[in-house]
Amino acid sequence: MKTAIVTDSTSYLSKELRDQLHIHMIPLSVVIGQETYREEVDIQAGDFYEVVRTQEKLPTTTQPPIGEFVKLYEQLLEQGYEAVVGVYLSSGISGTYQTSLAAADLVEGLTVRSFDSEISCGPQGFYVLRAVELAREGKGPDDIIQELEKMRSSVKAYFVVDDLNHLKRGGRLSSAQALIGGLLQVKPLLQFVDKVIVPFEKIRTSKKALKRVADLFEEDYQKGEPLEAVIIHANRETEARRWIGELEERFPNASFSISYFGPVIGTHLGEGALGFGWTKKRD
């Protein structure tokens, strides 16, 4: 069965990689002032952070319209695909996953399966790349979804933000949690739990927060299983690459890559955020 792999823009896989692996992408959008931009299409991460600094009002974000999914599904059907596996950001922070399901009912002759990654960004990308591997091996859509479900226990991610107000104003973190962080002047470690963003621990400084994340990674690293990891940054590439250098020295048997928080996720985390995600390599 010829199966196409689809994801949304918040997996932040480069266009070069998407083209190379034939990954199809549905963009989410940011609204800045009176203009709407599809991320990874009309606006890139670097440009976004430059523009936002000049704006008094925080941008907003929008999920893809159902018509975009229907259009893509129909195109894939015309290209000879028999099935689609879509991997989307957490349904707890976006309706993208639900929209993909609704669109599937509007297209006949194509088997569509959608996967709620329950996360976003680089860790979401782990699922996408695994789906590509499985599709290339000839796995059908149901088998691919089953394998992605098995991955969940090994996919972990934590992130640190400079300013909790972005998450508070965007409705992705409760006002009480944001207020506590501000009053104590902490740099809380955040994570996804049950599809939404919650604090993991409250730590006084960014340096200590990053060390804590590395220590959490070490707990899995010491089990002896091969791990692949991603460092994610919001316009902090220099710091991210420096951190990767330190991590590679400390954990020589793990593989590290770098990614970024693009416009949609960057709207909610704010410039300066850093993330660290990892998963067990496939046997």
Distance CA 193, CA 190 (A): 9
Q: Residue 153 carries which DSSP code?
A: G
Q: What Cα–Cα distance (Å) separates residue 194 from each residue in 71, 131, 217, 270?
A: 31, 22, 21, 22
What is the rounded distance in angstroms from the CA atom of residue 2 to the CA atom of residue 16?
Answer: 22
- Confidence check: pLDDT of 181 > 60: no
| Same domain, residue pair 167 and 263 | yes
Query: Among 99, 131, 152, which residue terminates a domain?
Result: 152
Tell me, yes or no, whether 130 lies in a domain. Answer: yes
Q: How many independent structural domains does the chain possess? A: 2
* Cα–Cα dist 1/281, whole Å: 25
Looking at the fold, whether 131 and 22 belong to one and the same domain comes out as: yes
H-helix or E-strand containing 163? Answer: none
Rg over CA atoms, the chain: 19
| Residue 50 located in a structural domain | no
Same domain? For 126 and 84 the reply is yes
Q: Quick one: what percent of the chain has pLDDT higher than 70? A: 90
Tens digits of residue pLDDT in 49-99: 998 888 888 899 999 999 999 999 999 999 999 999 999 999 999 999 999
Pair (214, 270) in one structural domain:
yes
**Residue reference for tokens 């049950």:** 194
CATH number at residue 22: 3.40.50.10170
For 240, the domain range is: 155-280
Residue 60, Cβ neighbours under 10 Å: how many? 14
Average model confidence (pLDDT) across the chain? 91
As a whole number, mean pLDDT of residues 14-31 equals 97
Domain end residue (candidates: 152, 183, 202): 152
- Of 152, 170, 196, the one marking the end of a domain is 152
Based on the domain organization, do 160 and 232 belong to the same domain?
A: yes
pLDDT band at 183 (very low <50, low <70, confident <90, very high): very low
Instruction: Judge whether 65 and 106 are in contact, CB under 8 Å.
Output: no
Mean per-residue pLDDT, 164-181: 50
Does residue 46 lie in a domain region?
no
Contact 40, 4 (CB under 8 A): no
For residue 184, is it within any domain?
Answer: yes
CATH number at residue 178: 3.30.1180.10
Helix ranges (DSSP H) in 79-156:
96-104, 121-136, 141-151
Q: What is the pLDDT of residue 201?
A: 80
Average pLDDT of span 117-140: 97
Q: What is the mean pLDDT of residues 223-252?
A: 96
pLDDT at 179 over 70: no
Residue 227 included in any domain: yes
Tell me: do 139 and 17 sit in the same domain: yes
Asked if residue 129 and residue 98 are part of one domain, the reply reads yes
Residue 103 has pLDDT above 50, yes or no: yes
Q: In terms of domains, do 148 and 165 share one?
A: no
Other beta carbons within 10 Å of 248: 13
What pLDDT was estimated at residue 61? 95
CA distance 281 to 6: 21
Q: Determine, yes or no, domain membership for 266.
A: yes
Three-class DSSP category at 71: helix
102 and 166 belong to one structural domain: no
Q: Which residue has the tokens 């599904």?
A: 73
Domain annotation covers residue 258: yes
